[in-house]
Amino acid sequence: MRNPARWGIALTFIGVVLALLIPIFGIPLIVIGLALIIWRGREDTIEAIKE
């Protein structure tokens, strides 16, 4: 598992916990975490095309 994927899972989990307590703080963390999971590994593809 790549480092952004780990951060994505961690931020999603923390966001879910915070969303249960304070939704305004939890929802952005969930969105950021899911974005990191969805777009993991894209930088390798971009670098390969660039070279």
d(Cα 4, Cα 17) in Å, to the nearest integer? 20
Spatial distance between the Cα atoms of 14 and 36, rounded to a whole number of angstroms: 14
Name the pTM for this structure: 0.74
Distance separating alpha carbons of residues 4 and 45, to the nearest angstrom: 15
One pLDDT digit (tens) per residue for the chain, 51 residues: 558 888 999 999 999 999 999 989 899 999 999 998 888 766 666 666 665
Handedness of CA 20, 23, 29, 31 (dihedral sign): positive
Total number of domains in the chain: 1
Cβ contact 33:15 at 8 Å:
yes
Range of the domain at 26: 3-50
